[in-house]
């Protein structure tokens, strides 16, 4: 999971697997530091699969001659405002990332769309597995409402967290990852959050008592903030975390016992059976 952010004159590369809230926050900072306030001379769509509810012609017509002015992240979505009040929507799917570069020799191999600036620098939307999405819209809040996205995981307090998740049913990990409840958490960080909250990923959420809920909320904010602080780079995350240790035959960084995996909601959860307990109302 290499990540580096440099000044606009250097080759920069930000690549992650399966972007979740921390990765998308790093993409936002990367875009903000490289691509704002420059006139967009052209939009070069190399692979139209990525376009959602917009054609290549409409995308180019909406963006050419304009500038990206600011950006806003919500969960795993990144919205970029232009000076004609349109918003570019980026969703990074499984392998999406951004690269800002100087000339064609530096163009990333799996670039699907290039935003070509008047100074001839380019911002590429790169996406090997082709699950990413690019759209163009006028109203971000209307988009969030239409797609029934919950509030951003880092912008809710304990009361709201409890209110939203407290009435749900199902495995706690599946509930955490459901973007309609709260937005931004995927497979990797859900496991990390549950590891910190000492909760087994398959625990039925209605079995969590008040104290466990508070722990879960604190772990959610702690993990997501700390991951952003570590540039979402596993190598920079604390060794006491689950993330650098996930996988077959690896050991729990807390107790040294072998980690185990279980399928929850169709995804592989890694956890420590000794450190993470199933919740109890008692
Ligand atoms: Zn353990």
Could you report the per-residue pLDDT of 17-75, keeping only the tens digit for each? 689 999 999 999 999 999 999 999 999 999 999 999 999 999 999 999 999 999 999 99
Q: How far apart are the C-alpha atoms of 93 and 249, rounded to whole Å?
A: 29
Angle at which helix 187-196 crosses helix 210-229, to 10 degrees, equals 120
From residue 258, how far is each of 72, 201, 243 by CA, in Å?
40, 16, 14
Ion ligand 1: residue ranges with CB closer than 5 A:
252, 254-255, 272, 274-275
The pLDDT assigned to 105 comes to: 75
138 touches 146 (CB < 8 A): no
Q: How far apart are the C-alpha atoms of 176 and 191, rounded to whole Å?
A: 10
The pLDDT assigned to 193 comes to: 98
Does 280 have pLDDT greater than 60?
no
Q: Report how far ligand 1's centroid is from the alpha carbon of 215 (Å).
A: 17
The pLDDT assigned to 106 comes to: 80
Query: By three-state DSSP, how is residue 132 classified?
Result: coil
Q: How far apart are the C-alpha atoms of 151 and 86, rounded to whole Å?
A: 22
Q: Are strands 96-101 and 260-264 parallel, antiparallel or unpaired?
A: unpaired
pLDDT band at 8 (very low <50, low <70, confident <90, very high): very low
Q: How far apart are the C-alpha atoms of 256 and 81, rounded to whole Å?
A: 48
The pLDDT assigned to 107 comes to: 84
CA 142, 147, 148, 154 torsion-angle sign: negative
97-122: pLDDT as tens digits: 999 998 777 888 899 999 999 988 99
Q: Report how far ligand 1's centroid is from the alpha carbon of 241 (Å).
A: 11
Q: Report how far ligand 1's centroid is from the alpha carbon of 271 (Å).
A: 8
What amino acid positions are annotated as catalytic residues? 19-20, 76, 267
Mean pLDDT of the chain: 92
Q: Report how far ligand 1's centroid is from the alpha carbon of 276 (Å).
A: 7
* Residue 275: closest CA among 235, 242, 246: 242
Order of all β-strands in the sheet with 111-117: 3-4, 13-14, 96-101, 122-127, 111-117, 40-45
pTM assigned to the model = 0.92
202-236: pLDDT as tens digits: 999 999 999 999 999 999 999 999 999 999 998 89
């Amino acid at each position: 999971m290499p990540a580096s952010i440099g000044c606009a004159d250097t080759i920069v590369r930000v690549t992650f697997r399966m972007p979740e809230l921390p990765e998308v926050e790093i993409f936002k900072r990367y875009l903000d530091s490289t691509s704002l306030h420059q006139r967009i001379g052209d939009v070069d769509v190399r692979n139209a699969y990525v376009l959602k509810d917009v054609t290549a012609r409409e995308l180019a017509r909406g963006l050419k001659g304009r500038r990206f002015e600011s950006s806003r992240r919500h969960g795993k979505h990144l919205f970029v405002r232009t000076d004609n009040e349109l918003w570019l929507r980026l969703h990074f799917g499984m392998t999406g990332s951004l690269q800002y570069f100087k000339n064609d020799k530096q163009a990333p191999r799996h670039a699907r769309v290039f935003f070509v600036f008047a100074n001839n620098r380019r911002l590429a939307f790169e996406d090997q597995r082709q699950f990413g999405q690019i759209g163009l819209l006028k109203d971000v809040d209307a988009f969030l409402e239409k797609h029934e996205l919950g509030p951003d995981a880092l912008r809710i307090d304990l009361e709201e967290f409890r209110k939203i998740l407290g009435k749900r049913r199902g495995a706690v990990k599946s509930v955490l990852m459901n973007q309609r409840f709260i937005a931004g958490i995927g497979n990797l960080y859900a496991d990390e959050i549950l590891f910190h909250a000492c909760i087994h990923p398959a625990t039925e959420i209605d079995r969590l008592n008040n104290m466990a809920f508070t722990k879960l909320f604190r772990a959610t904010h702690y993990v997501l903030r700390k991951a952003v602080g570590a540039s979402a780079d596993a190598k920079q995350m604390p060794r006491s975390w689950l993330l650098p240790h996930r996988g077959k035959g690896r050991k729990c960084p807390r107790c040294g016992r072998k980690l185990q995996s279980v399928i929850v909601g169709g995804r592989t959860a890694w956890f420590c059976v000794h450190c993470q307990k199933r919740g109890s109302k008692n």
